């Protein structure tokens, strides 16, 4: 897991998204920072073969998009941290889809 990307999201890691509105707004700003930092990285050129399905990251991506649409930014932080931990996050199939979802939903 990339420590710098993790450190941007970690203070707002709250799946329940049950903190005050100000903290949720700060989580949205952290997501902008996360997006900018993520764009500085390049996707991995080597495919990481795993024992699970190629599209196993997709349910997490759907949860991220749904939380963004509901403006539950702390939940987005939580889901991104989980995705970075459990999946090969810098694989092109994940990396580019995460960027696209953040671009679409954070109104870049």
pLDDT tens-digit series, residues 34-91? 999 999 999 988 877 665 666 788 899 999 999 999 999 999 999 999 999 999 899 9
pLDDT of residue 64: 97
Query: Where would I find the H helices in the chain?
Result: 3-9, 21-39, 58-69, 73-86, 92-105
Residue 100 CB coordination number (10 Å)? 12
| Rounded CA separation 45/81 (Å) | 22
pLDDT band (50, 70, 90) for residue 20: very high
Q: Where are the beta strands (DSSP E) in 17-108?
A: none
Exposed e or buried b per residue across 40-62, where buried means at least 16 C-beta atoms within 10 angstroms of its C-beta: eeeeeeeeeeeeeeeeebeebbe
Sign of torsion, CA 51 54 56 61? positive
What's this model's pTM, rounded to 2 decimal places? 0.90
């Amino acid at each position: 897991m990339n420590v710098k990307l993790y450190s941007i999201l970690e203070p707002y890691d709250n799946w329940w998204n049950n903190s005050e509105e100000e903290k949720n707004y700060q989580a949205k700003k952290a997501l902008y920072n996360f997006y900018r930092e993520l764009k500085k990285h390049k996707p991995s050129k080597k495919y990481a073969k795993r024992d699970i399905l190629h599209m196993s990251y997709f349910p997490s991506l759907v949860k991220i998009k749904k939380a963004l649409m509901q403006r539950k930014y702390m939940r987005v932080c939580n889901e991104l941290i989980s995705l970075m931990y459990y999946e090969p996050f810098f694989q092109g199939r994940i990396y580019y889809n995460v960027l696209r979802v953040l671009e679409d939903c954070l109104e870049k």
